[in-house]
Amino acid sequence: MPRVPTVGATIQLLKPITWFPPMWAYACGVVSAGAFTAERWWFVIGGILLAGPLLCGTSQAVNDWFDRHVDAINEPDRVIPSGRMPGRWGLYVAIIASALSMVVAALLGAAVFWAALIGLALAWAYSAPPFRLKQNGWFGNAAVGFSYESLPWFTAAAAALGGLPPAEIIAVALLYGVGAHGIMTLNDFKSVEGDTQHGLASLPVQLGVSNAARFACLVMGGSQAAVIALLLIWQHFWAAGVVGLVLAIQIGCMVHMLKSPKERAVWYSAIGVGLYVSGMMATAISLRTLTVA
């Protein structure tokens, strides 16, 4: 009788630790649109589950299935190369999760459905042939940044407001998605050897670890600096101050990380990403005045 994966192996494949960024971005969209009400709990909870366990989980399963040969070199303990996810079950889980994602998205309305379809298409295009966007760090990281931060934020706001969100919401959602490009670049440092052997042109492979680290810091810091400038223009001074504070702390961490980027990238992600998303929520709370005034 064919082996089937355990529940634990399936959860490992879906990588719950990666669900937080899109779930948080969706929550930011809800808050920025002023839609966080007791009457709409189903919209909030359903959207957060869709953004995290379903769509993000799907992307992780797709990525691990099509990266199983690279992971056998970089991270042989992952569930597929280690054999804990036997046979073609990695692919089956990705297909089942994709279908379930679209069912839940349809229940949340047309705007969420079409946005989820775009996100799902990007998830498959990122890892699967013939597109395999991750073969080039410029395109792959842009797709992930957009899917993880910009798209969930925009989708939640658009669905809550019943139409196109204000330009201010769109602008900050895009800027935080741009900054996530740098976060994804840091994530590639752990797999330089395997990426090089299999022809994956991540930015650390293309630019070298040191230059890629500098670029990642520039993108993360620059996007937040642009958000601060916009908040000041819009006279959201307290939010600009919060984002400025968390950016200042990140810059201090960046200086430490750049001294040994490959060894300290994980350390920076543990601290810097938390600060980054804190600024996102402060921005979202500030923008709420645009839609509930």
Domain-embedded: residue 1 = no
Q: What is the DSSP string of 110-177?
A: HHHHHHHHHHHHHHHHHHSTTT-GGGBHHHHHHHHHIIIIIHHHHHHHHHHHTSPPPHHHHHHHHHHH
Number of domains in the chain: 1
Enter the pTM of the model: 0.90
Domain-embedded: residue 2 = no
Tens-place pLDDT, residues 39-69? 677 788 899 999 999 999 999 999 999 989 8
Domain-embedded: residue 216 = yes
Domain-embedded: residue 16 = yes
Domain-embedded: residue 200 = yes
**Confidence grade of residue 2 (pLDDT, cut at 50, 70, 90):** low
Select from 54, 39, 161 the least CA-distant residue to 104: 54
Domain-embedded: residue 255 = yes
Here the CATH number for the domain that contains residue 62 is: 1.10.600
Select from 65, 66, 96, 94 the least CA-distant residue to 79: 65
CB 207 within 8 A of CB 196: no
* Burial group, residue 225, by CB count within 10 angstroms (0-12, 13-18, 19+): middle
Tens-place pLDDT, residues 127-184? 999 999 988 999 999 999 999 999 999 999 988 888 889 999 999 999 999 999 999 9
Residue 220 has pLDDT above 50, yes or no: yes
The whole-angstrom separation of Cα 173 and Cα 153 is 6
Domain-embedded: residue 27 = yes
Tens-place pLDDT, residues 258-271? 999 989 998 998 89
Domain-embedded: residue 254 = yes
The better pLDDT of the pair 293, 36 is held by 36
Select from 207, 178, 70 the least CA-distant residue to 132: 70
Beta bridge partners of 136: 201
Domain range for 34 is: 7-292
Select from 151, 144, 150 the least CA-distant residue to 186: 144
